[in-house]
Amino acid sequence: MARYDERPTVFHRLTSLTIIFATITGAVLADCDWPDEKDPVKITLAIVLASEKGDKVDKNLKLLAAEIQKTHPHLKSFILKTQEMRSIKPNEKTSMLCVDDQMVEMIVKHGADKDNRVSLSIKPPTMSTFEYQSVCGKFLPIVTNYKTKKKGDTLILAIMLEPCQGK
C-alpha cells in the first residue's frame, strides 16, 4: 500500500504516461494518410448481364440480383461478364469497355468526403450522363436499357468507388 507522501509521485507518473500516450497517439493519427477529396479514386466496374430466361445467378451476385429483382422482377439470370479496376484523379475522364464495343464514360467529381461519399459523373451506353454520390466501398448497380446483340441480355453496371475515409 502506498504511503500518503508517495501518492503525488504515483499521480505524476500516471499523468506523465497519459501525456506521453496522448502525444504518441496524436502523432500517429496526424501522420496517417487518410484519403482526401482530391486524391485518386479507385473505380471498380463489374459488368453484369441479366436475362429473363433461366435462373442461373453467379454466387457473387446473389445479393445484387435480389436487390435488382425488387424493381426488375422479370430478370431471372445474372452472370458476371467481366470486372475492371482503374484509379483516376478527380476531374479526369476515363472510358471503360462494357460489351459489344459499348463504352461507359466516367468522371470522378471528388473523392471520399467527410461523410464517406464519392461523387461520380457517368455516361452508360444508351443513357444520358448523370451525376450521383455513392457511399464509398459499396457497389451501386445501374440497370441500363442496353440489350446485347447476341442474346438480348440486359446490361447492368455495378460500380464501387474507393478508398474510403478511415479505411
Mean pLDDT within 131-151: 90
Note the pLDDT tens digit of each residue in 20-76: 444 444 444 444 444 455 678 889 999 999 999 999 999 999 999 999 999 999 999
Q: How much is the mean pLDDT over the chain?
A: 81
Q: How confident is the model at residue 130 (pLDDT cuts 50, 70, 90)?
A: very high
pLDDT of residue 20: 47
Per-residue confidence band for 133, with pLDDT thresholds at 50, 70 and 90: confident
Query: For 57, which DSSP code?
Result: B
State yes or no: pLDDT of 146 exceeds 90: yes
What's residue 11's pLDDT?
45
Average pLDDT over residues 94-101: 93
Q: Where are the domains of the chain?
A: 1-32, 41-162
Q: Which of the residue ranges 92-106, 111-125, 129-143, 152-166 has the most confident prediction, judged by mean pLDDT?
A: 92-106
pLDDT at 121 over 50: yes
- Give 34-37 contacts, CB < 8 A, sequence gap 24+: 34/165, 34/166, 35/111, 35/112, 35/163, 35/164, 35/165, 36/111, 37/90, 37/110, 37/111, 37/112, 37/113
DSSP state string for 9-55:
HHHHHHHHHHHHHHHHHHHHHHH-----TTS-EEEEEEEEEEESSS-
Query: Are 42 and 159 contacting, i.e. CB atoms less than 8 angstroms apart?
Result: no
Sheet-wide strand order for 130-135: 93-97, 103-110, 117-123, 130-135
